[in-house]
């Protein structure tokens, strides 16, 4: 049955880490609106900070992030000076009325920072924000960047969760994506971070890579399991060379087809769940003790630009080039160019906002529904009405029509609740896309949904 469904439902769709998705942000958005939104955050609001370090010393060909390769440290030093200025500006606009409950360092490779710069960055954040003593502080790590001094610096920074990209441990696959990383390297990072008191470690795997097979999936999952990570993220490789030119370095003739991708994802999920991991949403796995697993159980699971999360902050503040933030009023995004980011921050009052979108009531309603589909695989019609009133009826009519037109038992209605079935879960992105009013209007291209 899945062979038929894959062909029918494999069309490109967003990953829905936001709604509306980033391609639909407006280019006429200005700093003045962002300043007003920051000032309007109510006293006592909780905020989450995302700090982007857009540099790598090696460009992985599979990467879909906004990053820049550099062999020299001077561009990073220069960038950090502008980042500190943006931190000062944003913190000043928000004042001391908010509390930071989560802080994430992403990239690129944040682990390229020198020990002294980790200390300077934490000092800048503490000077302008009230960071909760219980805040989750996470970092994306590249084992090739690390040494003892950096491990110490990250511990001093306060890291509580470490995230490492594994992708696939097979040397042939790694060579095809320009990401050499041995199992021994990865094991060392996990052991050292745990020895320094990091409470949570998560590993990222990919399927759909060049030369990848069920055999390499089996071997990689076995090695991942041996490290006992608290969480595992299993992402499908998004081959988008029209967006990420470095992906043209990947030989498309050795990429798995859609059927093989589906088989790889299914095998990895099966192995992980058989070995004590609980499936979270469409692509995360967590041990029973992990906060992500508890959030899935009690219905508080959320989704943002980092994927599935327990982060329930009132606002997400993006800092650094290309960073995206979400405030109650809508989304904002900084310019992706590091050069333009530095110019704007230095010359234009400490902000580099170039795109954004003010949310309408319909956006908020559909965003809530899509997030519930992505997190819970369903939603309550009564809760939708309670939250949004009469406008909910239009969306519920769309949901009823989707149930009626579904000939494969993927999306059903039970006593006023709408649910994605077990058969339909691999296609949840495609189901969510049925409620996306922007998707058919835009010209953005996306990766396949399977």
Q: What pLDDT score does 199 carry?
A: 86
Phi, psi of 278 (to 5 degrees): -95, 135
Percent of the chain with pLDDT strictly greater than 90: 83
The answer on 400 and 341 residing in a single domain is: no
Same domain, 319 and 184: yes
Query: What is the pLDDT at residue 205?
Result: 97
Q: Identify the band that residue 95 occupies on the pLDDT scale cut at 50, 70 and 90.
A: low
Alpha carbon of 438 to those of 108, 114, 391, 398: distances in Å? 29, 42, 17, 15
pLDDT attached to residue 351: 96
- Lowest mean pLDDT: which of 18-32, 46-60, 61-75, 435-449? 435-449
Same domain, yes or no: 317 and 425: no
Q: Are residues 271 and 374 in the same domain?
A: no
Q: Over 70: is that where the pLDDT of 1 sits?
A: no
* Banded pLDDT at 446 (limits 50, 70, 90): very low
Interval 414-420 mean pLDDT: 95
For the residues 267-279, what does the mean pLDDT come to?
97
Last residue of a domain, one of 332, 358, 384: 358
Evaluate whether residue 383 is within a structural domain.
yes
To the nearest whole percent, how much of the chain has pLDDT over 70? 95
Q: Are residues 182 and 329 in the same domain?
A: yes
The count of domains in the chain is: 2
Q: By the 8 A CB rule, do 283 and 235 touch? A: yes
Query: Region 398-409: what's the mean pLDDT?
Result: 93
- pLDDT band, residue 49 (cuts 50/70/90): very high
Nearest alpha-carbon partner for 208 in 217, 198, 195 = 217
C-alpha to C-alpha distance for 258 and 114, rounded to whole angstroms? 42
| pLDDT reading at 231 higher than 80 | yes
Same domain, 447 and 325: no
Strand partners, 280: 284
19 exposure class (CB count in 10 Å sphere: 0-12, 13-18, 19+): buried
| Banded pLDDT at 5 (limits 50, 70, 90) | low
Q: Which CATH number is 84's domain given?
A: 3.80.30.20
Domain boundary among 358, 388, 410: 358
Residue 197 in domain = yes
pLDDT of 447 > 70? The answer is no
- Same structural domain for residues 301 and 344? yes
Q: Are residue 195 and residue 295 in the same domain, yes or no?
A: yes
* Residues 378 and 261 occupy one common structural domain: no
Mark which of 341, 358, 375 sits at the end of a domain.
358
Work out the pLDDT band at 448, boundaries 50, 70, 90. low
Query: Which helix or strand (DSSP H or E) is residue 364 part of?
Result: helix 361-376
From 27-36, 115-124, 354-363, the region with the lowest mean pLDDT: 27-36
Residue 367 lies inside a defined structural domain of this protein = yes
Q: Tokens in use for 246?
A: 């470095």
Residue 96 inside a domain? The answer is yes
| Domain encompassing residue 391 | 1-19+360-450
Per-residue confidence band for 59, with pLDDT thresholds at 50, 70 and 90: confident
284 and 141 assigned to the same domain? yes
Tell me whether residue 268 is in a domain: yes
Which of 176, 259, 272, 274 is closest to 230 using CA atoms? Answer: 272
Calculate mean pLDDT across residues 62-71. Answer: 83
pLDDT of residue 245: 86
Give yes or no for residue 207 having a pLDDT over 60: yes
pLDDT value at residue 30: 84
Residue 31 within any structural domain of the chain: no
> pLDDT tens, 358-377?
999 999 999 999 999 999 99
Q: Name the residue with tokens 């400490």.
A: 350
- Check whether 4 has a pLDDT greater than 70: no
Asked if residue 138 belongs to a domain, the reply is yes
For the chain, give the mean pLDDT: 93
Mean pLDDT across 154-174 = 97
pLDDT at 74: 96
Q: For residues 405 and 432, what is the distance between their CA atoms, to the nearest angstrom?
A: 15
Residues 434 and 407 in one domain: yes
pLDDT at site 98: 86
Judged against a pLDDT cut of 50, whether residue 138 lies above it is answered with yes
**pLDDT higher than 90, residue 311:** yes
**C-alpha distances out from residue 407 to 72, 178, 414, 434, Å:** 57, 43, 16, 15
- Mean of the pLDDT values across residues 34-45? 94
Q: Residue 104 pairs with which residues in a beta bridge?
A: 50, 138
Say if residue 65's pLDDT is above 90: no
Do 329 and 246 lie in one domain? The reply is yes
Instruction: Give a yes or no: residue 353 inside a domain.
Output: yes
pLDDT computed for residue 188 by the predictor: 97
CA distance readout (Å), 245 to 60, 241, 250, 255: 12, 5, 10, 17
* Residue 450's CATH number: 1.10.10.920
């Amino acid at each position: 049955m899945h062979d038929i469904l894959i062909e029918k439902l494999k069309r490109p769709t967003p990953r829905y880490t936001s709604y509306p998705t980033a391609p639909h942000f407006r280019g006429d958005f200005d700093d003045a609106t962002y300043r007003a939104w920051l000032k309007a955050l109510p006293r006592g609001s909780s905020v989450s900070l995302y700090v982007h370090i857009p540099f790598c010393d090696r460009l992985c060909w599979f990467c879909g992030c906004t990053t820049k390769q550099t062999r020299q440290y001077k561009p990073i030093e220069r960038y950090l000076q502008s980042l500190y200025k943006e931190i000062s500006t944003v913190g000043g606009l928000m004042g001391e009325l908010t509390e930071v409950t989560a802080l994430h360092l992403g990239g690129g490779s944040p682990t390229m920072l020198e020990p002294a710069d980790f200390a300077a960055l934490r000092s800048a954040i503490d000077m302008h924000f009230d960071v909760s003593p219980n805040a989750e502080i996470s970092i994306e790590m590249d084992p090739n960047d690390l040494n003892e001094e950096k491990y110490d610096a990250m511990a001093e920074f306060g890291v509580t969760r470490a995230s490492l990209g594994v992708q696939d441990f097979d040397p042939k696959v790694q060579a095809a994506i320009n990401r050499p990383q041995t199992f021994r390297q990865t094991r060392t990072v996990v052991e050292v971070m745990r020895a320094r008191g990091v409470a949570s470690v998560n590993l990222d795997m990919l399927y759909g890579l060049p030369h990848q097979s069920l055999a390499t999936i089996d071997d990689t999952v076995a090695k991942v399991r041996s490290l006992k990570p608290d969480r595992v993220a299993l992402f499908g490789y998004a081959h988008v060379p029209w967006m990420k030119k470095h992906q043209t370095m990947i030989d498309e003739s050795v990429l798995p087809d859609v059927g093989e991708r589906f088989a790889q994802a299914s095998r990895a999920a099966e192995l992980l769940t058989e070995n004590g991991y609980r499936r979270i949403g469409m692509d995360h796995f967590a041990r029973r003790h992990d906060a992500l697993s508890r959030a899935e159980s009690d219905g508080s699971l959320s989704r943002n630009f980092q994927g599935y999360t327990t982060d329930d902050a009132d606002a997400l503040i993006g800092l650094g080039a290309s960073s995206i933030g979400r405030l109650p009023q809508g989304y904002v995004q900084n310019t992706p160019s590091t050069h333009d980011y530095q110019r704007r921050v230095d010359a234009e009052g400490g902000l580099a906002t170039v795109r954004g979108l003010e949310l309408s009531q319909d956006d908020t309603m559909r965003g809530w529904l899509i997030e519930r589909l992505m997190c819970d695989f369903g939603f309550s019609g009564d809760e939708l009405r309670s939250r949004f009133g009469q406008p909910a009826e239009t969306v519920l009519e769309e949901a009823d029509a989707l149930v009626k037109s579904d000939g494969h038992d993927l999306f059903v209605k039970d006593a006023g609740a709408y649910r994605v079935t077990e058969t339909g879960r691999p296609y949840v992105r495609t189901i969510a896309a049925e409620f996306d009013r922007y998707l058919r209007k835009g010209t953005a291209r996306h990766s396949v949904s399977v």
